[in-house]
Structure 1
């Protein structure tokens, strides 16, 4: 990587405004780029490979960088207390003067959710379709991030960022305005599919532009990066239309209130609920601040359509009979502060479950969230609701391509190189095998992990090294202050509890002034375990009594006490509580 000072012309080229976006139909098609003898492109994933979520891909040419997506990941079960996980951008922070912009494929959390945390550190423009622009603006406003430069680019239009000519291609997903990216570089053309499926009866989004993808493939494609999330599934992904029909059928048969929970950003699903409510003369009420903000934005931008008077305020809901009420809520992933979970826990101020209510959970649990979603469903059933979820009814279909759709994309693009993206390692491996079966040279398929550096040039492709790519944890208002040591300590506390040994030492002799005091939390019951704790006090007392000379170093004392108690507790209980010595000198 060239780290020499930039010339004035380089700097002005890097920071100039992008060329105005123009539709591909009205602008002459760019000629296939010429490769210089030393030209190479670098692909550096910082998130989304080997995991579900946290999508972020870096594309570099010479001294110029673009970023594709900036997403978050929900915490896994072994991350106690963590709210969100975002990519490690230390590699980008060292090069932020070279970043031309962040290009967003669509508006789901795993592609835009990290922007409020990362954008203030990089301060670069964002390029995305109009709906993601609106969703990002709502998200940044909630996080008090101001003065962001967000440029709307409609599918079918192109922008120029330094040496990159980027064309947005319409791709059908479970949210409108999803886009694939065609990135023309001096080395060759890169196609990034974004999240996509082939839905020939989409609810509120344009179908995947197969014709344009075929044209791009005919021009010649250096590299394809394609969505691997549902590569395990054979055949084709069902149409979103199926969900609308199921919701409408359930709502039509329901005698009481109908509550539908889904992702706040799943605008097309919210439209299906509104359409069913109109059909069965129900009024729609929105529960959840984030859901409210997004619905208002989508109505204003025209992505949601609702007749006058359809949407009401929650405070008015008690005036209507149950069979006239439909609700849309957040909480499909069992988030503790979401509307549905507060309702299920009887903590919501305005909504309580009544016998005869119908609840539709129109989403599938993200890996790691299964147990909390199951607990929410159980609680709703116990309170008298009838709950429909993806295992018993077609109330959700995923937005990702299955095997036959992925094969079709390969046949249209016919790339020289292939990198599977967006998935856990098994998904990437299976997608690589699928690509090989479609004729891609196995030597040209790269299964990358977060942090790998892939270089492509006229001399071929190879992984040349790694960059930092660890998880960054968001815990309340703290970002990046929590590391693996803290998580291990939290896990230990949650499993075996803590024992605090308070040791009072005589300043003159260095010996214990009084018998130690030992307090436990989460380890043994204070009454039932009293004998065990008393015995451990005796062990610490004997340790000091057996010392031949005074121990003056507090660090040595702490270590000795921790070691002797840890061994004793494990021998007696086969558990390892966290032992915390506290020294007091008198």
Structure 2
């Protein structure tokens, strides 16, 4: 159960306050606010993708309500890397104040700038690289190279009057990274020697023992699968996974195939990566979708989005036979990604649909076609021993992951009372080398639904789930205003409740009788009579049909 809300005390001068607004208790919408001496620094501002019980929702944002009256106090936003769960919420923040400086690496800034262009926002950016130091108000920032499933990821050390905090961002410790860019453990050790007062670490793989396998091990597997494929190959991955796309390009060249990039985000992101030198595209390997029809299937590889079963993404549309690329016998589909928690059912439905069409589907469960971008337990232990932090606050993960990460910290000697297992909205104050949870603020879900932001409520989603699962009933009666006489009705119309509306003939006399009794007892207002209709048909539907349909009663007065 979430902790009950309790207001934090007034922040004293010289104390650093840390408030996660997203990313704790969930995998996504990562965002943390740091405050000292009246100024705010934000690290990451991502989105969470909706689950099946959130129908119609496009994205879920961090709850930025606490920032509404303090936009002018924000001295900067640090983006640790270019994944959507760390940068996707930035446009919605900058719509409130467009000149907030954005700190990030070259690739990260290129990706967010392209995204902001779609929102007609031109950001103020500060490009940084590992080893750089920048001052943002009372915050002294140092950037540290970390390895992840996207190039140019950074951890950030935040020095303040109250002490030093390190936020790792998402990271792992691949010892043979494809781009040769290691997680800089020497920098972690140096910062540890200086004294790290609060270590905020990626928890996504804290439950996984040992070490995350090497990314370099995946390339030969993908190449082998492609070499044995008889017809077309479709590889689905995240649209920002530059290293995975590089593997596919190289494997295609070795097997005499051309590559088609599918999905707007895939085309955009890989174009940016190639322009900046993060992706090496062999001459002649890429071909436009419009021209791919002239190339035989056994000479093609499609690199697509949709590895998480997103309903509108390329792979789902292929599985539903709604895409121009038709999947058939002897085609090969490679899902080169892991499952984000909550997406399992959607992904398995896509896999089933593709197999029904005759495709051979290769995924992490039956072949080594993906490795995680997050540090496993063994890597986290190394980091704790190197940094030797005074306090630890696990971030980026569901609650069980945070707990597992906290236990790892305790095993390395961090006192248990210095390990803070928080949730979104937990207020932590750091002073004199001690970090304490001092408050809990209410943090909600902010839904992006079409063009609306924050207008869809939990009650709206409950109504949508009811409509989807239980159906809809409308009941209309016409009543003479002066006499209260029922002129016509009840007229009942339904959707998704029963095979035939004739079944509702049984309840019409009950509704009439209930209305007449209510009118006879003096009830004449529309709302009161509508409630009578709702209760009467609701009880009957629950008993007779075992359903809890949405009921919309209407009284028309004439």
TM-score, normalised to structure 1, is: 0.91
Match of 1:131 in 2: 107
2:197 and 2:433 in contact (8 A); partners too: no
- CA separation in 2, counterparts of 1:224 and 1:151? 24
Match of 1:570 in 2: 542
Match of 1:284 in 2: 259
In the alignment, structure 1 residue 294 sits paired with structure 2 residue 265: no
Correspondence list, 1:527-566, <5 A: 527=501, 530-531=502-503, 533-547=504-518, 548-566=520-538
Greater displacement, 420-429 / 377-386: 377-386
1:420 and 1:431 in contact (8 A); partners too: yes
Correspondence list, 1:304-343, <5 A: 304-343=279-318
- CA separation in 1, counterparts of 2:482 and 2:182? 82
Q: Deviations over 1:183-209 (max 9, x none)?
A: 111111111111111101112351100
Q: Alignment partner of 2:447: what SS? A: strand
Q: Alignment partner of 2:507: what SS? A: helix
Measured after TM superposition, the shift of residue 212 of structure 1 is 1.0
2:515 and 2:533 in contact (8 A); partners too: no
1:2 and 1:63 in contact (8 A); partners too: no
Taking a change above 3 Å as real, the CA distance of residues 459 and 432 of structure 1, as seen in their structure-2 partners, is closer
Q: Deviations over 1:533-581 (max 9, x none)?
A: 1122111100122233442221211222212221222122332111110
Q: Alignment partner of 2:367: what SS? A: coil
Q: Alignment partner of 1:514: what SS? A: strand
- CA separation in 1, counterparts of 2:137 and 2:420? 27
Please point out which of 26, 35, 39 is paired with 1:60.
Answer: 35
Q: Alignment partner of 2:384: what SS? A: helix
Match of 1:94 in 2: 69
1:85 and 1:472 in contact (8 A); partners too: yes
- CA separation in 1, counterparts of 2:346 and 2:331? 21
Aligned length: 549
- CA separation in 1, counterparts of 2:250 and 2:382? 33
- CA separation in 2, counterparts of 1:344 and 1:572? 38
Please point out which of 250, 254, 269 is paired with 1:275.
Answer: 250
Match of 1:17 in 2: none
- CA separation in 1, counterparts of 2:543 and 2:315? 45
- CA separation in 2, counterparts of 1:560 and 1:323? 66
Measured after TM superposition, the shift of residue 441 of structure 1 is 1.0
In the alignment, structure 1 residue 580 sits paired with structure 2 residue 546: no
- CA separation in 1, counterparts of 2:9 and 2:465? 43
In the alignment, structure 1 residue 477 sits paired with structure 2 residue 451: yes
1:176 and 1:205 in contact (8 A); partners too: no
Match of 2:353 in 1: 379
Q: Alignment partner of 1:52: what SS? A: coil
Q: Deviations over 1:108-145 (max 9, x none)?
A: 11101112222212321211011111111222223x23
Measured after TM superposition, the shift of residue 462 of structure 1 is 2.4
Measured after TM superposition, the shift of residue 38 of structure 1 is 5.2
Measured after TM superposition, the shift of residue 437 of structure 1 is 1.0
Taking a change above 3 Å as real, the CA distance of residues 521 and 205 of structure 1, as seen in their structure-2 partners, is farther
Measured after TM superposition, the shift of residue 2 of structure 1 is 11
- CA separation in 1, counterparts of 2:193 and 2:530? 70
2:13 and 2:36 in contact (8 A); partners too: no
Correspondence list, 1:199-218, <5 A: 199-204=174-179, 206-218=181-193
Please point out which of 463, 479, 483 is paired with 2:437.
Answer: 463
1:159 and 1:166 in contact (8 A); partners too: yes
- CA separation in 2, counterparts of 1:518 and 1:323? 57
Q: Alignment partner of 1:122: what SS? A: coil
Structure 1, gaps ≥5 residues long: 5-36
In the alignment, structure 1 residue 492 sits paired with structure 2 residue 459: no
2:515 and 2:529 in contact (8 A); partners too: no
Measured after TM superposition, the shift of residue 374 of structure 1 is 1.2
Root-mean-square deviation over aligned CA pairs: 1.7
Q: Deviations over 1:432-486 (max 9, x none)?
A: 1111111011111111110111111128332222334211011111111101110
Measured after TM superposition, the shift of residue 3 of structure 1 is 9.7
Measured after TM superposition, the shift of residue 352 of structure 1 is 1.3
Q: Alignment partner of 2:95: what SS? A: helix
Q: Alignment partner of 1:524: what SS? A: coil
- CA separation in 2, counterparts of 1:210 and 1:352? 47
Taking a change above 3 Å as real, the CA distance of residues 395 and 538 of structure 1, as seen in their structure-2 partners, is same
Match of 2:477 in 1: 503
Taking a change above 3 Å as real, the CA distance of residues 174 and 522 of structure 1, as seen in their structure-2 partners, is same
Q: Alignment partner of 1:241: what SS? A: helix
Greater displacement, 240-249 / 45-54: 240-249
Match of 1:104 in 2: 79
Correspondence list, 1:431-446, <5 A: 431-446=405-420
- CA separation in 2, counterparts of 1:38 and 1:304? 47
- CA separation in 2, counterparts of 1:355 and 1:488? 41
- CA separation in 2, counterparts of 1:81 and 1:570? 27
- CA separation in 2, counterparts of 1:571 and 1:384? 44
2:249 and 2:282 in contact (8 A); partners too: no
Please point out which of 390, 398, 419 is paired with 1:424.
Answer: 398
Q: Alignment partner of 2:342: what SS? A: coil
- CA separation in 1, counterparts of 2:461 and 2:243? 38
Measured after TM superposition, the shift of residue 81 of structure 1 is 1.3
